[in-house]
């Protein structure tokens, strides 16, 4: 048995044991599904939610919120980060504004998200945008500030005449690994903001909303289902992104950091 299969088998075994303990504690020690739903309660809740179609619909809605927010954060965060990282004047100009806005917790924007956008997809997207924007901005800025000088000079002597060419052909490719890890952090923050935004009533559907809604209905097995789905979805999004970045975008980077 090699290391890899050993690791996998032990991981599965631990999960099975944890589930068994959970089941025993829930059923025989606690004994009330409201306080601690058992594994089987949760499993049957899952099946019911899946069959009714609401689960899939809510996942779709949440992914939509997440997608809008993250896309907006990318479309704004990367260019602003590039501007501030490359042009000193832009840095001096924008830095005070950024420094004042950045410490405001994304959830503090929820009232205005609702006032500006109503209870729309955009409102939830906006809160996620606020959460994801700053990690992307900061990562892009830092990455651009630390592009090795020799790459920029090599670009210049090889015929990059304008800042635009230097950014496009030299600085941006050099910055991609750091920007990618910034995006990963941003996705984590964004996912947390998603749940909070939906819970606090920015939306009338979605995983976060349903979690809170089912709490009001005292449907605790359903609450656990939504908790687990949120965890898995976050995990899967992160895995997909990491595989994509590691495998495709950064083939050259493998040896650079090692």
Partner 1 sequence: MSGVTIRDLGKAFPKEDGTFTQALEGVNLEIGDTEFICLVGPSGCGKTTLLRIIAGLETATTGIVTVDGRAVTGPDPKRGMVFQEYSLFPWRRVIDNVAFGLEMKGAAKEERRRAADRYIEMVGLSQFRDAYPYELSGGMRQRVAIARALANDPDVLLMDEPFGALDAQTRNRMQKELLSLWEQTKKTIVFVTHSVDEAVYLADRIVVLSPRPGSVQEIIEIPWPHPRDRTSAEFAEVRRRVLRMIDETENAQ
Four-point Cα dihedral 69, 123, 236, 57, nearest 10: -140
Residues in contact with 91: Cβ distance below 8 Å, sequence separation at least 6, in sequence order: 84, 85, 141
Nearer to partner 1, 105 or 148 (CB): 148
The 8 Å CB, 24+ separation contacts for 50-58 are 54/210, 55/225, 55/229, 57/205, 58/205, 58/206, 58/207, 58/209, 58/210, 58/226
Asked if 247 touches partner 1 (CB under 8 A), the answer is: no
When binding is defined by CB under 8 A, the residue of 14, 148, 204, 244 that contacts partner 1 is 148
Asked if 251 touches partner 1 (CB under 8 A), the answer is: yes
Beta carbon of residue 257, minimum distance to partner 1 (angstroms, whole number) = 9
Nearer to partner 1, 4 or 162 (CB): 162
Report the site for partner 1 in 52-81 (rule: CB under 8 A).
Answer: none
Stretch that binds partner 1, among 12-20, 62-70, 236-244, 247-255 (CB under 8 A): 247-255
Nearer to partner 1, 32 or 251 (CB): 251
Cβ pair 223, 214 in contact under 8 A: yes
Asked if 153 touches partner 1 (CB under 8 A), the answer is: yes
From residue 97 to residue 136, what is the string marking binding to partner 1 with x (rule CB under 8 A)?
----------------------------------------
Q: Whole-angstrom Cα distance, residue 67 to residue 197?
A: 14
Asked if 255 touches partner 1 (CB under 8 A), the answer is: yes
Q: Whole-angstrom Cα distance, residue 40 to residue 60?
A: 25
Residue with tokens 């109503």: 118
Nearer to partner 1, 173 or 188 (CB): 173
Q: How many other CB atoms sit within 10 Å of the CB of residue 178? A: 18
Residues in contact with 223: Cβ distance below 8 Å, sequence separation at least 6, in sequence order: 37, 211, 214, 215
Alpha-helical regions (H) of the chain: 3-24, 39-52, 54-86, 88-101, 110-117, 121-145, 149-157, 163-166, 172-199, 207-216, 220-244, 254-257
Beta carbon of residue 167, minimum distance to partner 1 (angstroms, whole number) = 13
Report the site for partner 1 in 156-185 (rule: CB under 8 A).
Answer: 156-160, 165, 169-170, 173-174, 176
Asked if 253 touches partner 1 (CB under 8 A), the answer is: yes
Beta carbon of residue 42, minimum distance to partner 1 (angstroms, whole number) = 46
The residue count for binding partner 1 (CB under 8 A) is: 22
**Binding residues vs partner 1 (CB under 8 A):** 148, 150-151, 153-154, 156-160, 165, 169-170, 173-174, 176, 251-256
């Amino acid at each position: 048995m090699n290391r890899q299969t050993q690791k996998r088998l032990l991981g599965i075994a631990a999960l099975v044991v944890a589930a068994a303990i959970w089941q025993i504690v829930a059923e025989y020690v606690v004994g009330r599904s409201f306080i601690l739903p058992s594994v089987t309660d949760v499993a049957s809740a899952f099946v019911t939610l899946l069959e009714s179609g609401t689960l899939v619909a809510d996942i779709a809605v949440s992914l939509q919120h997440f997608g809008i927010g993250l896309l907006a954060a990318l479309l704004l965060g990367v260019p602003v980060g590039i501007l501030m990282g490359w042009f000193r004047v832009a840095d001096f100009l924008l830095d005070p504004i950024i420094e004042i806005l950045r410490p405001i917790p994304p959830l503090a924007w929820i009232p205005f998200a609702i006032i500006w956008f109503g209870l729309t997809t955009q409102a939830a997207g906006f809160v996620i945008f606020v959460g994801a924007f700053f990690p992307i901005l900061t990562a892009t800025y830092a990455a651009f500030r630390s592009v090795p000088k020799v790459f920029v000079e090599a670009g210049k002597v090889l015929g990059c005449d304008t800042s635009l060419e230097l950014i496009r052909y030299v600085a941006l490719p050099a910055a991609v690994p750091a920007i990618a890890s910034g995006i990963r952090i941003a996705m984590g923050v964004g996912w947390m903001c998603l749940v909070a935004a939906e819970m606090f009533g920015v939306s009338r559907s979605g995983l976060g909303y349903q979690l809170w809604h089912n709490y009001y209905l005292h449907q605790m097995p359903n609450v656990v289902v939504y908790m687990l789905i949120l965890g898995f979805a976050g995990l899967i999004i992160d895995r997909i992104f990491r595989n994509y970045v590691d495998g495709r975008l950064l083939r050259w980077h493998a040896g650079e950091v090692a």
